[in-house]
Protein backbone atom coordinates (compact mmCIF):
# COMPACT_ATOMS: atom_id res chain seq x y z
CA UNK A 1 0.00 0.00 0.00
CA UNK A 2 1.52 3.29 -1.01
CA UNK A 3 -1.01 5.61 0.67
CA UNK A 4 0.02 7.25 3.90
CA UNK A 5 -1.33 6.06 7.22
CA UNK A 6 -3.60 8.54 9.00
CA UNK A 7 -4.05 8.55 12.76
CA UNK A 8 -7.43 9.91 13.79
CA UNK A 9 -6.60 11.19 17.23
CA UNK A 10 -9.42 12.04 19.61
CA UNK A 11 -8.24 14.47 22.28
CA UNK A 12 -7.98 13.04 25.81
CA UNK A 13 -8.23 9.44 24.68
CA UNK A 14 -6.39 6.17 24.22
CA UNK A 15 -5.23 7.30 20.78
CA UNK A 16 -2.45 9.24 22.52
CA UNK A 17 -0.52 5.99 22.90
CA UNK A 18 -0.59 5.43 19.12
CA UNK A 19 0.53 9.01 18.48
CA UNK A 20 3.36 8.53 20.96
CA UNK A 21 4.56 5.27 19.41
CA UNK A 22 4.44 6.77 15.92
CA UNK A 23 6.65 9.62 17.15
CA UNK A 24 9.03 7.10 18.71
CA UNK A 25 9.26 5.16 15.43
CA UNK A 26 9.72 8.38 13.39
CA UNK A 27 7.44 6.92 10.71
CA UNK A 28 5.67 9.15 8.17
CA UNK A 29 1.98 9.57 9.00
CA UNK A 30 -0.79 12.11 8.85
CA UNK A 31 -2.43 13.31 12.00
CA UNK A 32 -6.03 14.44 12.26
CA UNK A 33 -7.02 15.72 15.70
CA UNK A 34 -10.67 15.68 16.82
CA UNK A 35 -12.06 17.73 19.71
CA UNK A 36 -14.64 16.29 22.09
CA UNK A 37 -18.10 17.84 22.40
CA UNK A 38 -17.62 20.65 24.89
CA UNK A 39 -20.83 19.78 26.79
CA UNK A 40 -21.07 15.99 26.77
CA UNK A 41 -17.32 15.35 26.31
CA UNK A 42 -18.29 12.58 23.86
CA UNK A 43 -16.45 12.01 20.59
CA UNK A 44 -17.85 14.18 17.76
CA UNK A 45 -20.24 12.54 15.28
CA UNK A 46 -17.72 12.35 12.44
CA UNK A 47 -15.39 10.39 14.70
CA UNK A 48 -18.15 8.02 15.84
CA UNK A 49 -19.12 7.42 12.22
CA UNK A 50 -15.55 6.77 11.14
CA UNK A 51 -14.68 4.39 13.97
CA UNK A 52 -15.86 0.78 13.63
CA UNK A 53 -16.37 0.70 17.41
CA UNK A 54 -17.37 4.33 17.83
CA UNK A 55 -14.33 4.78 20.06
CA UNK A 56 -10.70 5.97 19.84
CA UNK A 57 -8.18 5.19 18.44
CA UNK A 58 -8.76 4.69 14.72
CA UNK A 59 -6.36 4.71 11.80
CA UNK A 60 -7.08 4.73 8.09
CA UNK A 61 -4.64 3.42 5.50
CA UNK A 62 -5.90 3.26 1.92
CA UNK A 63 -9.20 1.36 2.16
CA UNK A 64 -8.46 0.04 5.63
CA UNK A 65 -10.17 1.47 8.70
CA UNK A 66 -8.76 -0.10 11.85
CA UNK A 67 -9.75 0.33 15.50
CA UNK A 68 -8.43 -1.16 18.78
CA UNK A 69 -5.16 0.19 20.25
CA UNK A 70 -3.18 -3.05 20.24
CA UNK A 71 -4.31 -4.04 16.74
CA UNK A 72 -3.32 -0.63 15.39
CA UNK A 73 0.07 -0.77 17.12
CA UNK A 74 0.78 -4.29 15.79
CA UNK A 75 -0.27 -3.15 12.31
CA UNK A 76 2.08 -0.16 12.47
CA UNK A 77 4.94 -2.34 13.73
CA UNK A 78 4.33 -4.77 10.83
CA UNK A 79 4.97 -1.86 8.47
CA UNK A 80 8.34 -1.14 10.08
CA UNK A 81 9.92 -4.60 10.32
CA UNK A 82 13.30 -3.20 11.39
CA UNK A 83 11.78 -1.76 14.59
CA UNK A 84 12.96 -3.08 17.96
CA UNK A 85 9.66 -2.62 19.82
CA UNK A 86 8.53 -6.27 19.61
CA UNK A 87 10.95 -8.78 21.19
CA UNK A 88 11.53 -11.64 18.77
CA UNK A 89 10.07 -15.08 19.42
CA UNK A 90 13.53 -16.33 20.41
CA UNK A 91 14.20 -13.46 22.85
CA UNK A 92 14.54 -14.18 26.57
CA UNK A 93 12.18 -11.22 27.07
CA UNK A 94 9.45 -12.67 24.85
CA UNK A 95 7.11 -14.16 27.52
CA UNK A 96 7.37 -11.07 29.72
CA UNK A 97 6.67 -8.86 26.74
CA UNK A 98 3.64 -10.95 25.73
CA UNK A 99 2.28 -10.82 29.26
CA UNK A 100 2.33 -7.04 29.63
CA UNK A 101 1.43 -6.41 25.99
CA UNK A 102 -1.78 -8.37 26.50
CA UNK A 103 -2.43 -7.73 30.22
CA UNK A 104 -2.49 -3.97 29.68
CA UNK A 105 -5.71 -4.19 27.65
CA UNK A 106 -6.90 -7.63 28.76
CA UNK A 107 -6.65 -7.24 32.53
CA UNK A 108 -5.78 -3.70 33.58
CA UNK A 109 -7.92 -1.61 31.24
CA UNK A 110 -11.21 -3.46 31.98
CA UNK A 111 -10.80 -2.59 35.67
CA UNK A 112 -9.93 1.02 34.91
CA UNK A 113 -12.85 1.27 32.48
CA UNK A 114 -15.20 -0.08 35.13
CA UNK A 115 -13.95 2.52 37.61
CA UNK A 116 -14.44 5.31 35.08
CA UNK A 117 -17.96 4.19 34.15
CA UNK A 118 -19.00 3.76 37.78
CA UNK A 119 -17.50 7.10 38.82
CA UNK A 120 -19.05 9.14 36.04
CA UNK A 121 -22.45 7.43 36.10
CA UNK A 122 -23.04 7.88 39.82
CA UNK A 123 -22.68 11.65 39.45
CA UNK A 124 -25.75 11.76 37.22
CA UNK A 125 -28.09 9.94 39.58
CA UNK A 126 -31.24 11.30 41.23
CA UNK A 127 -30.46 12.34 44.80
CA UNK A 128 -32.68 9.66 46.32
CA UNK A 129 -30.76 6.83 44.66
CA UNK A 130 -27.32 8.18 45.29
CA UNK A 131 -26.52 6.87 48.80
CA UNK A 132 -27.59 3.30 47.92
CA UNK A 133 -25.69 3.26 44.65
CA UNK A 134 -22.61 4.75 46.30
CA UNK A 135 -22.63 1.95 48.85
CA UNK A 136 -23.01 -0.62 46.10
CA UNK A 137 -20.15 0.86 44.08
CA UNK A 138 -17.95 0.96 47.18
CA UNK A 139 -18.59 -2.76 47.58
CA UNK A 140 -17.66 -3.50 43.96
CA UNK A 141 -14.54 -1.48 44.36
CA UNK A 142 -13.44 -3.03 47.66
CA UNK A 143 -14.26 -6.64 46.75
CA UNK A 144 -13.50 -6.81 43.05
CA UNK A 145 -11.81 -3.88 41.33
CA UNK A 146 -9.19 -2.80 43.88
CA UNK A 147 -7.85 -6.23 44.82
CA UNK A 148 -7.35 -7.10 41.15
CA UNK A 149 -5.75 -3.77 40.30
CA UNK A 150 -3.46 -4.03 43.31
CA UNK A 151 -2.33 -7.48 42.27
CA UNK A 152 -1.47 -6.20 38.78
CA UNK A 153 0.42 -3.23 40.20
CA UNK A 154 2.35 -5.48 42.60
CA UNK A 155 3.36 -7.60 39.62
CA UNK A 156 4.44 -4.45 37.79
CA UNK A 157 6.57 -3.39 40.77
CA UNK A 158 8.17 -6.83 40.94
CA UNK A 159 8.91 -6.96 37.19
CA UNK A 160 10.26 -3.41 37.05
CA UNK A 161 12.66 -4.35 39.86
CA UNK A 162 14.07 -7.07 37.60
CA UNK A 163 14.32 -5.17 34.30
CA UNK A 164 13.77 -1.51 33.41
CA UNK A 165 10.95 -1.78 30.86
CA UNK A 166 7.66 -3.67 30.77
CA UNK A 167 8.92 -5.80 27.90
CA UNK A 168 12.18 -6.56 29.76
CA UNK A 169 15.63 -5.15 28.93
CA UNK A 170 14.50 -2.83 26.14
CA UNK A 171 11.79 -0.29 25.48
CA UNK A 172 8.92 -2.08 23.69
CA UNK A 173 5.39 -1.59 22.37
CA UNK A 174 4.13 -2.85 25.73
CA UNK A 175 5.53 0.32 27.34
CA UNK A 176 3.64 2.59 24.94
CA UNK A 177 0.45 0.61 25.43
CA UNK A 178 0.53 0.48 29.24
CA UNK A 179 1.74 4.10 29.45
CA UNK A 180 -1.84 5.27 29.02
CA UNK A 181 -3.04 2.99 31.85
CA UNK A 182 -0.31 4.00 34.28
CA UNK A 183 -0.04 7.70 33.56
CA UNK A 184 -3.80 8.11 33.81
CA UNK A 185 -3.74 5.83 36.86
CA UNK A 186 -1.17 8.11 38.54
CA UNK A 187 -3.25 11.21 37.76
CA UNK A 188 -6.21 9.52 39.47
CA UNK A 189 -4.18 8.36 42.51
CA UNK A 190 -4.50 4.69 41.60
CA UNK A 191 -0.70 4.70 41.48
CA UNK A 192 1.28 6.57 44.13
CA UNK A 193 4.96 7.06 44.87
CA UNK A 194 4.51 5.53 48.33
CA UNK A 195 3.02 2.26 47.08
CA UNK A 196 4.37 2.01 43.55
CA UNK A 197 7.81 3.67 43.46
CA UNK A 198 9.03 1.68 40.47
CA UNK A 199 5.95 2.45 38.40
CA UNK A 200 6.45 6.13 39.20
CA UNK A 201 10.15 5.93 38.18
CA UNK A 202 9.13 4.20 34.98
CA UNK A 203 6.56 6.94 34.24
CA UNK A 204 9.28 9.58 34.70
CA UNK A 205 11.55 7.66 32.33
CA UNK A 206 8.79 7.33 29.72
CA UNK A 207 8.00 11.05 29.93
CA UNK A 208 11.69 11.86 29.45
CA UNK A 209 11.69 10.20 26.01
CA UNK A 210 11.97 12.79 23.20
CA UNK A 211 8.94 11.08 21.58
CA UNK A 212 6.80 12.11 24.56
CA UNK A 213 7.66 15.78 24.01
CA UNK A 214 6.92 15.63 20.29
CA UNK A 215 3.68 13.65 20.79
CA UNK A 216 2.54 16.10 23.46
CA UNK A 217 3.29 19.02 21.16
CA UNK A 218 1.26 17.48 18.32
CA UNK A 219 -1.56 16.56 20.70
CA UNK A 220 -1.64 20.10 22.09
CA UNK A 221 -3.45 19.04 25.28
CA UNK A 222 -2.26 19.26 28.87
CA UNK A 223 -2.95 15.60 29.72
CA UNK A 224 -3.83 12.25 28.15
CA UNK A 225 -7.23 11.84 29.74
CA UNK A 226 -9.94 14.01 31.19
CA UNK A 227 -10.05 14.44 34.92
CA UNK A 228 -13.30 13.60 36.66
| Strand positions, DSSP E, the chain | 6-10, 30-34, 58-61, 64-67
Looking at beta carbons only, is 68 or 187 nearer to a copy of itself? 68
Does 102 interact with a copy of itself (rule: CB under 8 A)?
yes
Nearest CA to 115 out of 44, 192, 32, 188 is that of: 188
Looking at beta carbons only, is 109 or 203 nearer to a copy of itself? 109
Among 4, 41, 42, 106, binds a copy of itself (CB under 8 A): 106
Does 157 interact with a copy of itself (rule: CB under 8 A)?
no
Does 140 interact with a copy of itself (rule: CB under 8 A)?
yes
Looking at beta carbons only, is 44 or 139 nearer to a copy of itself? 139
Q: Is 50 exposed, middle or buried (0-12, 13-18, 19+ CB in 10 A)?
A: middle
Of the candidate spans 15-23, 39-47, 112-120, 184-192, the one that interacts with a copy of itself by CB under 8 A turns out to be: 112-120
Q: What does each C-alpha distance from 131 to 44, 138, 152, 185 come to in angstroms?
A: 33, 11, 30, 26
Q: What does each C-alpha distance from 147 to 65, 76, 80, 111, 154 come to in angstroms?
A: 37, 34, 39, 10, 10
Does 155 interact with a copy of itself (rule: CB under 8 A)?
yes
Minimum CB distance to a copy of itself, residue 211 (Å) = 22
Does 81 interact with a copy of itself (rule: CB under 8 A)?
yes
DSSP letter, residue 37: P
Q: What angle do CA 44, 1, 86 make, to 5 degrees?
A: 80
Among 33, 66, 163, 200, binds a copy of itself (CB under 8 A): 66
Among 35, 110, 161, 162, binds a copy of itself (CB under 8 A): 110
Chain centroid to CA 53: 16
- Both ends of the chain: CA-CA distance in Å? 41
Chain centroid to CA 168: 19
Among 54, 119, 192, 210, binds a copy of itself (CB under 8 A): 54
Does 69 interact with a copy of itself (rule: CB under 8 A)?
yes
User: 60 φ, ψ to 5°?
Assistant: -125, 145
- Interface residues with a copy of itself (CB under 8 A) are 52-55, 64, 66-71, 74-75, 78, 81, 89, 94-95, 98-99, 101-103, 105-107, 109-110, 113-114, 117, 121-122, 125, 128-129, 132-133, 135-136, 139-140, 143-144, 148, 151-152, 155
Amino acid sequence: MTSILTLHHLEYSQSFRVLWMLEELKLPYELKVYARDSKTMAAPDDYKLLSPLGTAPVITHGDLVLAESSAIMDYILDSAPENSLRPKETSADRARYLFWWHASQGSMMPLQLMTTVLTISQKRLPLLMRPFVKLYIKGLNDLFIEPRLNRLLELAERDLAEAPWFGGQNLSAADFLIAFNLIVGAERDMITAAKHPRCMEWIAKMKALPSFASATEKDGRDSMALSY
